[in-house]
Amino acid sequence: MARSLGFDLVGVARAEPAPEAAFYPEWLRRGYHGAMGYLEGRRGEMRSDPRTLLKAARSIVCVGQVYNAAAPYSTDPSTQGRGWVARYAWGEDYHLALKNKLYELVGAMRERAGEFRFKVCVDTSPLLERAHAHQAGLGWIGRNTCLINEGLGSWVFLGAVLVSLELEPDGPAPFRCGSCTRCIDACPTDALIPLAPGEGPSHALDSRRCISYQTIERRGAIPAEEREGLGRHVFGCDICQDVCPWNRPERAAVSRVPEYAPDGAGPNPAELDLAEAASLTQEEFEERFAHSPIERTRYQGFLRNVCVAMGNLGDESFRAPLERLAESEDPVVREHAAWALTKLATRERC
């Protein structure tokens, strides 16, 4: 039923704490969640046991849907010189599309099994989706902390349905990263932290160092000492997935879902002209990204990230748009534009 609705992966896990959940409190204690306060407190405690979301839950139906597009990776020379938007944001916001399909799946299940209790979860619910997807056999949690499927790679959106049905569970997928450390070696900000044997997964993500966190979750100013590490990234980062052997272009699956394609709802890297992006008014930003994950940065964060990307690329053609942004009414945008102009001046002297 799941596959007939367009899901590429499906499996079943028991509705109980996953082994990976044991490290979550320590992850929070170390501060790896940064300023994402919604990951701690009561909602943080709820993540340890899925039955806190649905007391009657007995099984978790875990699904995956490929979002990869047949287009260059951020590591390809052909993409250099422009701002980068993470692959998952090239199309429409996946939350609604994935959630609607999960409700369709519940309807199909009820036709077969009758009434049962359920709860649909897509990213925003306090559920450790990767952990349960691993237990359901959808893939393993790699050193880049992404769920990797042997046949499809890691360009996969995850969703889950907690159900009161007793379904036969699948088994966890084996770890297949071997001795490969390409993701760790390629991360420009050293965000992937090795863990001691038995402590949890092989690595943990320190969000505070992650480019995705800095460009999406962080509000206000980015610390000056951390801006160079962001490179040309305007929204999110794909580096640790781009270099993964399981995601090689010749083997990674390509999405069949039209909503996830770079169709104008969100720019792909070939379309994100930084100078043009710097000229967007707030109204234009909101109209252009109304159905895109990029909207999450808000207008201030978007222009802030554009300034940092232009400063790091150091192209003299960015001087005029940066000078305009340096006169912005927004103090955060002004600060980052001034920083970028200083970077251009430094390159001139060199």
Catalytic positions are: 123
Could you tell me the CA-to-CA distances from 267 to 90, 92, 262 in Å, in that order?
5, 10, 6
Number of other residues whose CB lies within 10 A of the CB of residue 225 = 7
Number of other residues whose CB lies within 10 A of the CB of residue 309 = 26
Could you tell me the CA-to-CA distances from 87 to 3, 272, 305 in Å, in that order?
23, 13, 17
| Pairing mode, strands 156-163 and 192-194 | unpaired
Give me the helices (H) in the chain, please.
24-29, 41-46, 94-113, 129-135, 182-186, 211-212, 224-227, 239-242, 274-278, 282-288, 298-313, 319-325, 331-349
Dihedral pair phi/psi, residue 186, rounded to 5°: -85, -20
- Distance, CA of 303 to CA of 333 (rounded, Å): 6
Q: Do the Cβ atoms of 230 and 211 come closer than 8 Å?
A: yes
Count CA atoms within 13 Å of residue 229 on its CB side: 19
Enumerate the β-bridge partners of residue 12: 61
Number of other residues whose CB lies within 10 A of the CB of residue 62 = 29
Q: Do the Cβ atoms of 159 and 98 come closer than 8 Å?
A: yes
Q: Which two tokens stand for residue 335?
A: 């600060």
